[in-house]
A and B are shown apart, each in its own frame.
Chain A
Amino acid sequence: MLMSHPLRLLGIAGLLSGLIAACPVPAASADGDDLWSGLAQDIFGNRSMNDGSEVIAIEMPYRAEDAAIVPVTLRTRLAPTDSRRVLTITLVIDQNPAPMAAKFELGSDAHVSEISTRVRVNNYTDVHAVAELSDGKLYMNKTFVKASGGCSAPAAKNADEAKRRLGQMKLRQFARPEQGAADRPRDAQIMIGHPNNSGLQMDQVTQLYVPAFFVNELRLWQDDSPVLTMEGGISLSEDPNIRFTYVSNGAKSFRAEAKDTAGHVFRNEWKIDNSGM
């Protein structure tokens, strides 16, 4: 199941980068709604899309300050009394060369209610969040981001440092103001050192495209219970970084496993701080 998705991510990337080479100002001229209907078709097939404004919130700054690092927060809006559960959230940056940025699968007993990450934004674009609920339906919400100006680009600022950090992992655990008992929501953040290269740039000597090299899968567990799984694409910023709000099941450890397109597997494990932090 999971294996087919990275291939699809690559497929979209390849297709759109081909289009970009063909016409100088591709995305800006495409009509936003048309573009989205095509993307929705590619990613979700013929499934109907419901209004998600009561189900999922998506927050991004109106202007991308740094094209390479644009914060995005996805938040579930289901009332505690709602019997439905969010199974997955898909993040799509319509005008990017590879629009499908990430798909998150939420662990069944981790009660993940918020996910923040960082993405690259190449152009003025709609950004869509699509939640799949346990009722089997898709719910969509969206926001709009203006591209950054100046010499900011959606590429590495310090390419040597990015290489040096390859595979390093860091887990940060945060107190929430309302935190008390162990069953209250808590925040954590996982960071993975990785260049997350787009593969869209050409080597000037060989005139060949540098192969894409990015984290395409990340899995997080508290003990053996899945908290969050992510399938990622090249729209995720360098050093993939996910901050999330979840509920502890009383586990004593946190585990992470990341895989990239070159076949590397990075694993790490941390003790969970249950002291109330």
Chain B
Amino acid sequence: MRYRSMRHGLWMFAALALLCVSTFSQAQQQELAVQEISPGVFVHEGVTALMTRENGGAIANIGFIVGDSAVAVIDTGGSVQEGRQLLASIRRRTNKPIRYVINTHAHPDHLFGNAAIAMSGITLEGHKHLPRALSSHGQYYIDAFRRSMGKLMDEVRLIPPTLLVEETLHLDLGARPLTLRAWPAAHSDNDLTILDEQTGTLFAGDLVFLTHIPVLDGSLRGFLSTLDKLSALPAKRVVPGHGAVSDWPGVLAEERRYLEILASDIRRLVARGEPISAATNAAASERSRWALFDEYNARNATAAFSEIEWE
């Protein structure tokens, strides 16, 4: 009996050791690729695509900033898997505690990874309207993304922010001040930006798109007027929600052109008395300039029409 149980114990030990080794190597493999774009500022650039099982939902730019005493995570990605990979990436670069997880807005590609990182001792920052957006959109997202993400959705939890940003909020990571700013309805009605004062790096969330066609889920007029105010922020470079890290604020020109053409095309259709079904042809001249144009333009145009016809 004793012998058998000891042998059993040895087997268990061996199995556990193997498990540790394989988990460790898996963790190594499953780190999210990040680039240090500025001292202490790390960014994973998402692929320009829709969220799928194959890309693990990793389509948005997400990142983290390391201060003298703490780390802030900015968006957690499109799946808990991606969030976990981001965590592994952080842990390989610093032992400092993660104190803040900041969500730039309610869209799935930016916060489906929350469950991987949000834990006790960490506060979650979000726009004052983020909780409202999560409750009106969240369950629908969880149901709808099962179609393209399958089992990856099993672990996704909607974790609302614990610290709301009314207008601006200052955080300090230890000799590293961050300024969080909540914007009026633009890309969505809960957009939040993060400025790393020390390096002049702006995490703009989906207020800035490059390559990936801008997506309108808030207010077209608000988006355009927000761009004016946003461009005045004292940043040197921007991490867009989608697209390459770029110089500030020159990068805004492309996005502004698209939104202005969309607005003027829609105004013309409304003035002519066209029905909303005609909106899908608006901004057609922009087609060759953007990735995912066919996936989003008709939708942007439909939303814009329903806003502009109230002018």
The chain A residues found within 8 Å of chain B, CB to CB, are 24-25, 28, 61, 65-69, 71, 73, 116, 118, 122-123, 147-161, 165, 168, 170, 172, 174-175, 187, 191, 193, 200-205, 210, 237, 239, 241, 243
B125 within 8 A of A: no
- A24-B143, A65-B301 known; 15 new pairs, CB 8 Å cut-off, are A65-B302, A147-B147, A150-B215, A151-B107, A152-B217, A153-B141, A155-B137, A158-B185, A158-B219, A168-B310, A187-B273, A201-B136, A201-B139, A239-B310, A241-B306
* B275 CB → nearest A CB, Å: 6
In the complex where A66-B299, A175-B273, A243-B275 touch, is A122 in contact with B136 (Cβ < 8 A)? no
The chain B residues found within 8 Å of chain A, CB to CB, are 50, 107-109, 129, 131-137, 139-141, 143-144, 146-148, 160, 185, 188-189, 215, 217-219, 222, 273, 275-277, 280, 295-296, 298-299, 301-303, 306-307, 309-310
In the complex where A25-B143, A151-B215, A152-B217 touch, is A159 in contact with B277 (Cβ < 8 A)? no
- CB contacts (< 8 Å) of A158 on chain B: these are 185, 189, 218-219, 222, 307
* A225 CB → nearest B CB, Å: 24
- Measured between alpha carbons, how far is A160 from B136 in the docked complex, in Å? 13
- Chain A's closest residue to B141 (CB) is A153
Complex contact A157–B188 (CB within 8 A): yes
- Determine the main DSSP class of B at the interface with A: helix
Complex contact A149–B131 (CB within 8 A): no
- CB contacts (< 8 Å) of A68 on chain B: these are 303
In the complex where A201-B135, A204-B131, A204-B135 touch, is A122 in contact with B140 (Cβ < 8 A)? yes
Complex contact A159–B136 (CB within 8 A): yes
- Chain A's closest residue to B277 (CB) is A71
- CB contacts (< 8 Å) of A156 on chain B: these are 136, 189
Question: Which of A65, A73, A118, A174 counts the most chain B CB atoms within 10 A?
Answer: A65
- CB contacts (< 8 Å) of A191 on chain B: these are 309-310
- CB contacts (< 8 Å) of B218 on chain A: these are 157-158
* B159 CB → nearest A CB, Å: 10
* A115 CB → nearest B CB, Å: 12
- CB contacts (< 8 Å) of A160 on chain B: these are 129, 185, 189
Pick the contact of B299 from A148, A203, A205 — CB < 8 Å?
A148
Complex contact B129–A66 (CB within 8 A): no
- CB contacts (< 8 Å) of A69 on chain B: these are 276, 302-303, 306
- CB contacts (< 8 Å) of B140 on chain A: these are 67, 122, 153-155
Complex contact B217–A159 (CB within 8 A): no
Complex contact A204–B160 (CB within 8 A): yes
Pick the contact of B217 from A118, A157, A203, A243 — CB < 8 Å?
A157
Question: Which of B136, B146, B189 counts the most chain A CB atoms within 10 A?
Answer: B136
- CB contacts (< 8 Å) of B147 on chain A: these are 28, 147
Complex contact A118–B141 (CB within 8 A): no
Complex contact B143–A172 (CB within 8 A): no
Complex contact B219–A161 (CB within 8 A): yes
- Measured between alpha carbons, how far is A203 from B139 in the docked complex, in Å? 12
Complex contact A150–B188 (CB within 8 A): no
- Chain A's closest residue to B134 (CB) is A204
- Chain A's closest residue to B131 (CB) is A204
- Chain A's closest residue to B110 (CB) is A151
- CB contacts (< 8 Å) of B137 on chain A: these are 153, 155
- CB contacts (< 8 Å) of A159 on chain B: these are 129, 132-133, 136, 189
- Measured between alpha carbons, how far is A150 from B147 in the docked complex, in Å? 11
- Measured between alpha carbons, how far is A170 from B107 in the docked complex, in Å? 32
* A266 CB → nearest B CB, Å: 15
* A and B contact pairs by CB, cutoff 8 A, 6 listed: A149-B50, A150-B215, A150-B295, A151-B141, A159-B133, A204-B160
Complex contact B109–A151 (CB within 8 A): yes
- Measured between alpha carbons, how far is A168 from B310 in the docked complex, in Å? 10
* A182 CB → nearest B CB, Å: 19
- Measured between alpha carbons, how far is A147 from B141 in the docked complex, in Å? 12
- Measured between alpha carbons, how far is A204 from B147 in the docked complex, in Å? 25
Top 8 nearest A-B pairs (CB, nearest first) are A65-B299, A174-B273, A155-B136, A153-B137, A65-B298, A151-B107, A158-B185, A66-B302
- Measured between alpha carbons, how far is A237 from B146 in the docked complex, in Å? 24
- CB contacts (< 8 Å) of A243 on chain B: these are 275
- Measured between alpha carbons, how far is A172 from B298 in the docked complex, in Å? 24
- Measured between alpha carbons, how far is A276 from B239 in the docked complex, in Å? 54
Complex contact A157–B189 (CB within 8 A): yes
- CB contacts (< 8 Å) of B129 on chain A: these are 159-160
* B161 CB → nearest A CB, Å: 10
In the complex where A69-B303, A118-B276, A175-B273 touch, is A157 in contact with B219 (Cβ < 8 A)? yes
* A215 CB → nearest B CB, Å: 15
- Chain A's closest residue to B51 (CB) is A150
- Chain B's closest residue to A147 (CB) is B144
- Measured between alpha carbons, how far is A152 from B144 in the docked complex, in Å? 10
* B280 CB → nearest A CB, Å: 7
Complex contact B299–A152 (CB within 8 A): yes
- Measured between alpha carbons, how far is A158 from B299 in the docked complex, in Å? 15
- Measured between alpha carbons, how far is A156 from B129 in the docked complex, in Å? 12
Complex contact B303–A170 (CB within 8 A): no
